[in-house]
């Protein structure tokens, strides 16, 4: 008997947890962060003037005009989190948000790698393992055989 032998039954027990609950958490918590960020970019149903200002002066990105970036980010921060919450098109939504996370990390807030790393880990897990059984992807048979 080794020093770590007591870990075996604990690991066996925890291994029975399955993927449903972790996948749901991996979908919901980052979705809430991105959706809340998207909400700050709006005034009612319109993109706030302050959003355009931020994209012109603080969130400057190469290769894309700042007004387009403001619109794209606002739409993405509403659409993809909704997809994650529903578990519909989960892998595509996670891939899109992983891309956004990379852009934010590289061009906007390079010092926030710990936070961005947590988001990236969630998205990578969803891309690799899928949305889990508590999702529309699963219910509609869109993620079987993956």
- How far is C-alpha 41 from the chain's CA centre? 18
Please name the residue that has the structure tokens 């936070």: 115
Residue 2 is predicted with a pLDDT of: 86
pLDDT digits (tens, 9 = 90+) for 19-70: 999 999 999 999 999 999 999 999 999 999 999 999 999 998 988 999 999 9
pLDDT, average across residues 103-129: 97
């Amino acid at each position: 008997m080794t020093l770590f032998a007591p870990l075996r039954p604990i690991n066996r027990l925890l291994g029975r947890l399955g993927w449903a609950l972790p996948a749901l958490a991996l979908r919901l918590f980052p979705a809430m962060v991105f959706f809340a960020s998207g909400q700050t970019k709006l005034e009612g149903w319109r993109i706030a003037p302050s959003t355009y200002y931020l994209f012109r002066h603080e969130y400057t990105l190469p290769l894309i005009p700042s007004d387009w970036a403001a619109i794209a980010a606002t739409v993405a921060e509403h659409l993809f989190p909704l997809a994650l919450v529903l578990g519909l098109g989960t892998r595509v939504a996670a891939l899109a948000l992983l891309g956004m996370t990379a852009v934010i990390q590289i061009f906007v807030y390079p010092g926030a790698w710990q936070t961005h790393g947590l988001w990236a880990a969630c998205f990578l897990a969803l891309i690799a393992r899928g949305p889990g059984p508590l999702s529309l992807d699963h219910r509609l048979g869109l993620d079987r055989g993956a």
